[in-house]
Amino acid sequence: MKIIDLTQTIEENMPVFPGTEVPRLNKANTVEEHGFAELKMTMYTHTGTHIDVPAHMLKKGRPLTSYAAEDFVGRAVLVDATEAKGEISLQQLKPYETLIKEADFLILHTGWSRLWGSSEYFEGFPALSEAACDWLLQYKLKGIGIDAISIDAMETKKFSIHYKLFNREMIVIENLTNLKVIGRDSFLFSCLPLKIKNADGSPVRAIAMVED
């Protein structure tokens, strides 16, 4: 089995959602001075490749630790949205319907991760349309992921896609990368988070597991 890392590296001065502080990684202890090394990390729960759970936007939404480990692992469908302009439409999802019916996760490949580290990463990426989102809600998906900063359009004030998914207790995975390496429509996906009590999200080490 081939393991493909779909995770952006956490480092200082990395891209973060506008208004969020970048992570701080400080050497709290060193081998030379203390005989062991420890890094003190200060960062937001939605840093880098991460998941959002309903508590992120819903006052009484499910927190992270109410989900079981199995909720972050399952069969995924990779949708090629690299030709999408402005939004990812229902018509672009329909060819994958047979796979989506049996899937746990839908992963949207926009190609936007190629712009990671530049100002362009925050502009013009295709986001899931409301019609496409409404159509997906009929299926038993655990979550939807994307290789962009948000599953909603950057200019939104309503975050309607987030709210629609959170109201179904689904998770959102953002800032994925390396999706073009997967090379097939269906694969085993994992996005296990840190087990942070009552959190609204967490950085994850997302991977694709593909049979050779």
Q: Is residue 105 part of a domain?
A: yes
Q: How does residue 109 score in pLDDT terms, banded at 50, 70 and 90?
A: very high
CB-count exposure of residue 32 (10 Å: 0-12, 13-18, 19+): exposed
Q: Is residue 36 part of a domain?
A: no
Q: Is residue 20 part of a domain?
A: no
Q: Is residue 57 part of a domain?
A: yes
Q: How does residue 75 score in pLDDT terms, banded at 50, 70 and 90?
A: very high
- Tell me the C-alpha distance between 137 and 129, whole Å: 13
Could you give the C-alpha distances from 182 to 60, 118, 190, in angstroms and in order? 36, 24, 14
**Are residues 151 and 174 in contact, defined by beta-carbon separation less than 8 angstroms?**
yes
Looking at the structure of the chain, the number of domains it has is: 1
Q: In 3-state terms, what secondary structure has residue 181?
A: helix
Predicted confidence (pLDDT) at residue 85 exceeds the cutoff of 90: no
**What is the predicted pLDDT for the residue at 114?**
97
Tens of pLDDT, residue by residue over 14-53, are 999 999 999 999 999 999 999 999 999 999 999 999 999 9
Q: Is residue 18 part of a domain?
A: no
**What is the predicted pLDDT for the residue at 92?**
96
pTM tops 0.85, yes or no: yes
Q: Which range marks the domain in which residue 127 is found?
A: 2-8+44-210
Query: Which residues pair with residue 24 across a beta bridge?
Result: 42
Q: Is residue 148 part of a domain?
A: yes
Paired tokens of 61: 């939404």
CATH of residue 83's domain is 3.50.30.50
Q: Is residue 173 part of a domain?
A: yes
**What is the predicted pLDDT for the residue at 212?**
82
Q: How does residue 125 score in pLDDT terms, banded at 50, 70 and 90?
A: very high
How confident is the model over 165-171, as a mean pLDDT? 98
Predicted confidence (pLDDT) at residue 138 exceeds the cutoff of 90: yes
Tens of pLDDT, residue by residue over 61-72, are 999 999 999 999
Q: Is residue 201 part of a domain?
A: yes
Query: Which residues pair with residue 190 across a beta bridge?
Result: 73, 207
**What is the predicted pLDDT for the residue at 134?**
98
Q: How does residue 86 score in pLDDT terms, banded at 50, 70 and 90?
A: confident
